[in-house]
Amino acid sequence: MKSATAIDAARVELLLAELRLPAIKLVWSDLAAQADKEGWPAARFLAALAEHEIAERGRRRIERHLAEARLPPGKTLDTFDFDVVPMVSKAQIIALAAGDSWLEKGANLIMFGPPGGGKSHLAASLGFALVENGWRVLFARTTDLVQRLQIARRELALESAIAKLDKYHLLILDDLAYVTKDQAETSVLFELIGARYERRSLLVTANQPFGEWGKIFPDQAMTLAVVDRLVHHATIFEMNVESYRRRTALERKRGPGRPPASATIKANV
């Protein structure tokens, strides 16, 4: 015959499964043994179980948010060498990774610079840190996202496709300037930027300064409207450095690289 304790234990397992408390289900018997042995008050035992479930749920939520963020792998702040971009302050990036000062008001970040300067890496690593801090992020190549939105538009579902992106506190539009100048394409981008204005943040990377954006959008008015909305509450990083790939390849040959050509940061949050 089973002991009363064994029967209780079997009931607990069933009840916890029914209540969908998988984290408690895993640890309760060890904790119960410890509580019995050390004579814990019942409230302490219950609190320990609840804390464990909450911590596990938090961990699983972040795991889900990391998966949905589609960040390129391996691009973290730990692997980003701030020494090669002296115009970007590590302290400022770490402050931005907390999120609250800018994501809550839908402010934007814009990263300019020539190819290979570390824009995508820095954007992705900031995205990663934000997810770890509890925010929801989506990293997208701008051309891919524009294509998805165009398909939605054809299916008369553009508005709801844009609304679905609202769940992301930060949308990273990587390589905005690679979008081709095609009326239908860029007008979905125009609508996306307008819809998020002052509500939800964007991080845009581009290897063309604003002056060249006339090549992205079909007309002057649309370009001006986009730039206006993006910069109204924005921090702009100008990462005018030599390509990191080229620099590291050259360094292997000739020793340390040249200092960067220019160093400017404009902040206008």
For Mg ion, which stretch binds (CB under 5 A), given 33-41, 55-63, 115-123, 221-229? 115-123
Q: Judged by CB, which is closer to ligand ADP: 80, or 217?
A: 80
**Among residues 75, 109, 77, 113, which one has the least CA distance to residue 243?**
113
CB of 239 to ligand ADP, least distance (A): 7
Q: Does 125 contact Mg ion by CB under 5 A?
A: no
Give the residue, chosen from 32, 35, 120, 244, that forms a contact with Mg ion under the rule CB under 5 A.
120
Strands in 108-112's sheet, in edge-to-edge order, are 137-141, 170-174, 201-206, 108-112, 234-238, 264-268
Q: Judged by CB, which is closer to Mg ion: 24, or 206?
A: 206
Q: Does 236 contact ligand ADP by CB under 6 A?
A: no
SS3 of residue 130 by DSSP: helix
Angle at 149 between CA 76 and CA 268, to 5 degrees: 50
Interatomic CA distance for residues 189 and 171, integer angstroms: 12
Q: Judged by CB, which is closer to Mg ion: 194, or 209?
A: 209
Contacts of 135 (CB under 8 A, 6+ apart): 65, 99, 103, 169, 170
Contacts of 34 (CB under 8 A, 6+ apart): 40
The DSSP string of 235-266 is EEEE-----HHHHHHHHHHHSSPPPPS--EEE
Q: Does 118 contact ligand ADP by CB under 6 A?
A: yes
Q: Name the strand (E) or helix (H) holding 168.
A: none
CB of 162 to ligand ADP, least distance (A): 25
Q: Judged by CB, which is closer to Mg ion: 108, or 120?
A: 120
Interatomic CA distance for residues 104 and 201, integer angstroms: 8
List the x/- string, 153-192, binding to ligand ADP by CB under 6 A.
----------------------------------------
Binding to ligand ADP (CB under 6 A): which residues in 98-117? 113, 115-117
245 interface partner picked from ligand ADP, Mg ion, none, CB below 5 to 8 A per type: ligand ADP
Interatomic CA distance for residues 218 and 215, integer angstroms: 7
Q: Judged by CB, which is closer to ligand ADP: 59, or 245?
A: 245
Q: Does 85 contact ligand ADP by CB under 6 A?
A: yes
For ligand ADP, which stretch binds (CB under 6 A), given 14-22, 50-58, 76-84, 186-194? 76-84
- Phi and psi (nearest 5°) for 43? -65, -35
SS3 of residue 31 by DSSP: helix
Q: Judged by CB, which is closer to ligand ADP: 103, or 122?
A: 122
CB of 174 to Mg ion, least distance (A): 6
Contacts with ligand ADP, residue ranges (CB under 6 A): 75, 79-81, 84-85, 113, 115-121, 205, 244-245
